[in-house]
Every structure is written in structure tokens, then in C-alpha cells.
Structure 1
Amino acid sequence: MERLGVYAVNGKMKAIVKHQRGYGAEMQMVDIPYIEEHEVLIKVKATSICGTDVHIYSWDEWSESRVNPPYIFGHEFAGEVVETGSKVTNVKVGDFVSAETHLVCYECPQCLSGQYHICKNTKIIGVDTHGCFAEYVALPAVNLWKNPSDMPFDVASVQEPMGNAVHTVLAGDVAGKTVAVIGCGPIGIMAVGVARAAGAAQVIALDLNDYRLNLAKEMGATAVVNSKEQNPLEVIHQLTDGNGVDVVCEMSGHPVAMDQGFKMVTNGGRVSILSLPVRPVSIDITNDVVFKGITVQGITGRKMYETWQQVSSLLKSGQVDVTPLITHHFPLEDFAKGFDLMIEGKCGKVVLHP
């Protein structure tokens, strides 16, 4: 396989490295990656911190079982193509791109039927491979999404997580329906905006964090519920005239909140689960699933590339404005400040600039 030379005089770059099997990360000088004939090298202009990155930084049970330090993590970004492999035809030097973060095999039964987002052999950038918390990142050209030239770098960097929100909300019809978004992390907050843009009659946001509930209001929530101070099932009962919500988008992963989600959904409704509980969750299958006749969906990633088209269109049209959600910017060197804010829940989306 052809391997191309590195881009830059000294061949070194700054990168945030998950350096040990424990809490934290380090800023290091590392080699700029080589690219192969099917890959491109991208100069990162903006990279945003995801909840998955926080799991890795904090070193919880999930990350302990999944990732293998030392390596560069991070997977949400926008940047400029600075070098292309000899077999790359879909992008060129100078293109402004973001990336689909699932590396798929294109050979398993799911891929062969067009369901790339549930590829049996998926690897995730910044989880299973080196990521984008760096000045440069090398990726397969097939994973790149070309951005409009006038899109701000920070907005372009959050399209990947917005894709998760779009996939979750639009996994069924929401027009004219009542939608509950449980868990107002950044993706949950984006789900609020997507549901409003898709014509939901009510969008009820539930969380324990008033800061993030206020962001959900800015993104269009018609009602917010602090589940620590109010009984969410009683509030939902009042807001829906006792009928329950038509759609639940579960973004919290908390066992109590998930159980409440199944209890608040109406008969024949839908529960779409994007969250990743770290332990098994107890659900009353008989009364809250079977007798209700509901649809339960597991949501992973984004449909390739249908969801990216939806995200791009929603942003370009102005139907969804994510700028209220992007609350903090830091130089790459100040990454610890961003992670501290994420862990404390005192932010929306944190964007780092190499």
C-alpha cells in the first residue's frame, strides 16, 4: 500500500493524548500521521467535546472496557483538506470537510443491505482509532462530508452529534405530536431543536440541570421539567391531558429516567433510545411495552449518508440554529477547562481550536 509523506516541515503536531488507563489526558507533540492511497490529511480548524470523550477522559466502566491508551481521542471536527491519497477522487486539497465517524466494513450483511450505520464490524474514530483532538487527522476519504464554504467552523464541528439527534427524532413521525426529550446534554438539546423544526406540537425537555434546561428553552422547548424538583410523570400527565407523550427520545441513560420514559409514553407511542446505560436497566415490559403496544428503537450513529443530508439541510435552511448551544471556545491547549465544564454540566457544546 502506498504511503505518502507527511504534511509540514517538521512532521510534528500538538495532540490531546489519552495517555493512561486512568483519569485525564495529556497534551503531547506527536508525529503528523501518514496517509495511504485512499486517505486524506485534514488540518483541524475546530473540534468539539462529546459525552463519549468525557467518558474516556473520566475513565468510567465503559471506557475501561473499550479503549486502549495511549492514543489520540476526539471525533467531532471540521477542517481543511491539505493532502490526498493517489486514489482519492471525492475531495481535493482546500475542501472544507467534516467526517462521519463510523468506519464500516462494506462487506457484512448489514452493509450489503445499505444499513452501514449498524455494520457488524464498525470502528469509531477517536474510540477505536486515532482521533481529531489534534492539529491534523488522517481519515478515509469515503468518510468525509463536504461543508458549505460559508458555514462557521464551530457549527460544522457539531454536525456529527447533531446527526445523532436527527436520527433519533426522525426515526418516526413527529409532526403534530408531543415529544419528550429525556436528558439535556448537548445532543438532547439539539434534539429539541430538531423536533420543533420537524413540526412537533409540544417538545418537553427533562433534566436535572437548570443551566441545560435553559439552553433547551433557547432551542425551542415548549416546557422544561427539572426531574429533581418536580415529579416528571405528574407534569407530563398535566401537559398531555392525561394521555402521555407520543414520542420519547431517551438521551440520559439513567435507569430511573429511562423507566419514567416508558411510563410517560402513550399507548401506541414510540421510545427511541440513543443513550448508553453503563449497567442493565429494569423496565416493566408487560405493562409499559407489551400492553401499551409501543415501538422501541435502539438508535446508533447516523444513517450513512441520509442523516448527513438532513443535518446539512436543516442548518442551511435556518430551521435549526445550533449557535445558542455552542457556549464555550478554548485553544486546544486549554482542553482541561473544557472537560471540567462538561463534567460539571455548566456548558452546552465546548469547541476546541488547534
Structure 2
Amino acid sequence: MRALRKVTAGPGLELVDVPEPEYGPKDVLVRVLRAGICGTDLHLRAWDEWAASTVQAPLTIGHEFFGEVVAVGADVDHVAVGDHVSGEGHVVCGTCRNCRAGRRHLCINTSGVGVNRDGAFADLVVVPASNAWVQPAGLDPDLGALFDPLGNAVHTALQWPVVGEDVVVTGAGPIGVMATAVVRHAGARRIAVTDMSADRLALAVAAGADLAVDVSRGQSLADAQEALGMVEGFDIALEMSGAPAAVEDLLANMNHGGRVAMLGLPTDRYAIDWGRVITHMITLRGIYGRELFETWYLMGSMLASSPALREAVSSVVTGRYPAQEWEDAFAETASGHGGKVLLDWS
């Protein structure tokens, strides 16, 4: 079968032929139909410091996927051959304190699909049956491939009630755009979104943002407050960029008692104005992944009940390439101007 692999410990990827993967009694074998390219995959291709310290080559990468179950292990009783599934990319141990307490998204022994074990940039991928989320028949494969990043967006956006609140989203990548759609669906009052890409900001406005803030043109959140008629600062911030300047700007424009959910991973350490955090009584909360599997239930319920939300989420797909054109797909992703780019393995 075909697989896009990190063949050696260094920069680059190769599309190669490999044997079909073996599966165990509690696993499912999935024929991949769509797989999304994530920022993590860009790190792995570049082989930066994080990738070199985390990944052992050879490895098939890719963790955002949707496909059809073609085989199940002997002990699997809730997933059947022929089911269409999205994949939860975090494989947890089930025995650490957090897992045993039902907080599986906080597992200290998490193994990442496409990072610590062979992933979904391939014709076939193996995951535990517990990580296969069975989707309704007829679901658009593109939408099915978005459930992993959509889970990040939903988990971040719903950390606190947003009904009637003024929300700022820093970073209009695919997850930031989806988070914008979610907080709009959940009842936010005003939503401002910041980014350096006019194309991405246009996606955010189409998804429900009231105001796009183009920081590449010198616009700031202080300007946004004035434009929106605000006088007390933002109540909720969703930090999706990992950019120090974005964090500095949002902290300077939070209301007293404001709450910040931080998902964007920085490339390096940076300073924070802790005096403002303390005196303004701002809550900072780190977010990584999704709640297993409460967030998945929330995603399915919201999408089933809201055609507008489905349309907004689906709109983040701006590129789709056959698997053999993976280099063009990665180039579009790395450009930072569009939305989500998918590889078509069907």
C-alpha cells in the first residue's frame, strides 16, 4: 500500500510502498478516504527541534482522517466492517490516574497517531476500536476528516459559557475559523478575529466574526474595541496563533476577570505581562486536544442540529489534492493563506 513516511531522521517525506499494517484483537483497520494536513505535519516534514526530540523514524505521519472500516479485531463489538469513521488521534493508556478517573484527554502516557505510531497518510491505518468514531451514513468525507481539528476548536471555544460575551479569537487558521463558528452558534455577543492573512480573515467573517483585525496592516484589538463600541474589554479570548505579539495584545485588551483559552503552540518561549494577569484577575488555561469523548458528542450534536454550523465548518476546506500530489498540498498548507488542505486517498 501507499504511505507518506518519515523514512529517516531528517527533513523531508517520501511516498513509498509498505506492507499493509497488522491489527490486534481490539483494533480496527480503516481504509483512508480523506486526511487533513496539520501544523504538526509541517513540523515533522521540516524536522525541527520538537520533531527530532519526539519522533522515531521510520514513521507514517498524519492524524486527521476519515475512512471506511475494512476489518475489525476479534474483541471488537461496537464497530463493524463497512462503518465510516473519523479517528481520534490520541491513544491513551487507560491505567494512569487521569484515565482511571475519566479524564482521558489528560493521560500522561498518550501515544499520538502519526507522531508516536504509524498514522493516516496511507491507504490503510490501524487504530484501537475505541478511537474510531462511527459517523452517520452519507457524511461528506471532507467534513468527516475535520473532526479532529474541529474537536480542538470546540474544546477551546466551550471552556467557559460564551452566551452574551465579547470574544476575541487570535489566529484565523482552520481551527480559529471553526472556533469562531462555534462561539457564534453558542451565543457570543461580539466576535473579533485577528490574523495576518486577509484570505483567512475573510473565512472568519464568513463563519460568524463581527470584525476582522488585520495585524499586518497595523490594526490592533484596541482599534477593534473602538469599532465594536466596547468599553470594558473582551470577556473571553481564544488564543490560536502561538504568536507572542498576539498574546500581548489580547492580554492588554481583556476585561477584569477575563478568561483565556490557549491552544496555539509557540515556536519558542516568550514573556507574559504577569502583573496584568494578576491585577486584572485573568484566567489562563492551556488546551491540548479534545475531551475523550465528550467533545465528540458535542460536535456531532451541534452539526446535526445546525446546517449553518455545518456550512461554516466545511468552509475551512480550501484545498483538496490526490495523495500523490502531497508536495503541492503541503506547500499550500505552509503558505499560511488558506484554510484546511486535505489529501484524497480514495
DSSP 3-state at the match of 2:238: strand
Question: Secondary structure of the equivalent of 1:350?
Answer: strand
Counterpart Cα distance in 1 of 2:96 and 2:322: 40
Counterpart for residue 63 of structure 2: 75
The Cα shift of 1:26 comes to: 0.8
Q: Deviations over 1:252-297 (max 9, x none)?
A: 111111122222211111000011112212001122x111112111
2:304 — aligned with what?
A: 316
Measure the CA separation in 1 of the matches of 2:221 and 2:33.
43
Contact residue 46 and residue 78 of structure 1 kept, 8 A: yes
User: Within the alignment, does 1:266 sit opposite 2:250 as a pair?
Assistant: no
Structure 1: distance between partners of 2:22 and 2:185: 42
Greater Cα offset, 321-330 or 71-80: 321-330
Distance 1:196 1:237 in 2: 18
> Are residue 137 (structure 1) and residue 119 (structure 2) matched?
no
Q: What is the TM-score with the length of structure 2 in the denominator?
A: 0.96
Letter of the 1:285 partner, please give it.
Answer: W
Q: CA-to-partner distance for each residue in 1:66-117, whole Å, 9 max, x for gaps?
A: 1122210000111111111111111011111111111111111111211110
1:165-180 to structure 2, matched below 5 A, reads 165-180=153-168
2:295 aligned residue? 307
- 82, 85, 88: which is aligned to 1:100? 88
String of CA shifts for 1:181-219, please: whole Å, max 9, x gaps: 101111111111111011111111100111111111111
- Aligned pair partner of 1:256 in 223, 229, 245: 245
Aligned equivalents of 2:296, 2:153: Cα separation in 1: 11
CA distance in 1, matches of 2:116, 2:247: 28
Any residues of structure 2 matched to 1:132-211 within 5 Å, and which? 132-211=120-199
Paired with 1:20 and 1:252, the residues of 2 have a C-alpha distance of 30
Q: Residues 1-354 of structure 1 correspond to what in structure 2 (within 5 A)?
A: 13-238=1-226, 239-287=228-276, 289-317=277-305, 318-320=307-309, 321=311, 322-354=313-345
TM-score, normalisation: structure 1: 0.94
Could you list the runs of 4 or more consecutive aligned residues of structure 1 that deviate by over 3 angstroms after TM superposition?
A: none
| Residues 245 and 266, structure 1, Cα contact 8 Å, conserved in 2 | yes
Alpha-carbon distance in structure 2 between the residues aligned to 1:278 and 1:34: 36
SS of the residue corresponding to residue 228 of structure 1 reads helix
Unaligned runs of 5+ in 2: none
The separation in 1 between residues aligned to 2:206 and 2:50, in whole angstroms, is: 32
Whether the 8 Å contact between 1:246 and 1:265 is mirrored in structure 2 is yes
Are the aligned partners of 1:16 and 1:25 in contact in 2 as well (CA < 8 Å)? yes
Mapped to 1, the partners of 2:89 and 2:179 lie a distance apart of 19
Partners of 1:297 and 1:346 lie apart in 2 by 28
Verify the 8 A CA contact 1:181 1:206 in the aligned structure 2: yes
1:240 is displaced (CA, Å) by: 4.8
- Inter-CA distance 273–94: structure 2 relative to 1 (3 Å threshold): same
Flag structure 1 segments of 5+ consecutive residues without an equivalent.
Answer: 1-12
